[in-house]
Chains A and B, each alone.
Chain A
Amino acid sequence: MDEYPAGSLDHNVPFLLALGTSATATYGAELIASLKDQAVLIRSELPVLDTEQAHALLRYIQSRDASKLPCNARDAPTKHRFRVKTAERSILLPPRRARLPDGIEAPPTAALHSPYSPLSPISPLYPDGIMDAQWIRKHQDLVPSVLLCFYTLTADPTLATLCDNQIKTDVNNIRGLLSQSGYKSKVAVVFLSDQGARLDHLQERLETLRRGCGIDPKLSFFVSPNDSQEELERMGENMLTTLYTVSMEYYRDLGRHCRKKRGRGIAPQPTVPPTSGTSQTLSLAGWNVRYDFKSAIFAEFRAEMDVALRSYEQAYENLLSSELMEVIPSWSPRWNDARFLADVIAVRCLRCMLWNGQHSAAARRWQVHRDRIADFLDRRSRGTRNYGWEAWEARWAIVMANLVEKAQIPDFAPETLKLFLQPEKSAMGERLQPWEHLHHPGYWYRLAAKHTQSRRAFAHQIPEDDRRSPGASPASHVAKSAFAYDTYMCPDPYEEYPLNHAGVDHGRMIIERLMKAREEFLARDQFRFAAEVSLECARELGLVKEWDKMVEILLPLWKDMAFRTEGWIAIADELNWSLRTAAVAVANAELVLAVDWELLSRNFPKRSGWHYDITKSLEGITLESKPTVSIPDGRILPFISTTFLFKDEQGKAGQSVKSQLLIKSNAHQGSPPIVLSGVGVKFTGSLSQVLIKHQEGDSSEQKHGSVSVSSVDLARSAPESDLTSSDIRLNGVANLTLAPGQTLVFNLDIPLREPGETQANSLTLRLETEAFDLEQSLNFPERNTHNFWYISASATKRMTRPDPRVIKVLPRPPKLEVKCPTWKEQYYTDEAIHLDFELVNGEDIEALAKLDVTLFGESPPLFTVNFPDSPEEENKEKTSTNIRSEESSLIGASLGSISPSKSSVIYLILPPIDRPTQFDLTIKVTYFLSTNPGTPITQTDVYQLNILNPFETNYDLLPRVHPEPWPSFFDTDGIPNPHPDDPSLPIPFKGLCQTWSLQTRYASFTSEPIRIHDLDVQINSPLTIRCSAIKSSSTPPLPDNPIIIPPQQIHSTSFSLSAQKLSLDDRSPTPLDILFVIKWSRTTSNSSDSATINTTYLPIPRFNLFGTEPRVLATTTTTTSKDYITLQIWIENASNHFLTFGLSMEGNNEQFAFSGPKSITINLLPVQRKCVEWRIVPFVDKEENDEEKEEEKGKWVELGGLVVRDKYYQKVLRVVPGGEGVRLGKEGGGGGSLEVYVPTAAGRKDKE
Chain B
Amino acid sequence: MVKPQLQTRKLNLWFGKNHVLHDVDLSVYSQKVTAMIGPSGCGKSTLLRCFNRMNDLIPETRITGDVLLGDEDIYKNGSDVSRIRAAVGMVFQKPNPFPKSIFNNVAYGLQIQGKIRRSELEERVEQSLKAAWLWEEVKDRLNQSAMSLSGGQQQRLCIARALANRPKVLLLDEPTSALDPQSTAKVEELCLELKKSVTILIVTHNVAQAGRISDYTAFMYLGDLVEFDKTEKMFTVPADKRTEAYLTGVFG
Query: Real complex partners, A and B?
Result: no
Which A residues form the contact surface with B (CB < 8 A)? none
Q: Which residues of B contact A (CB under 8 A)?
A: none
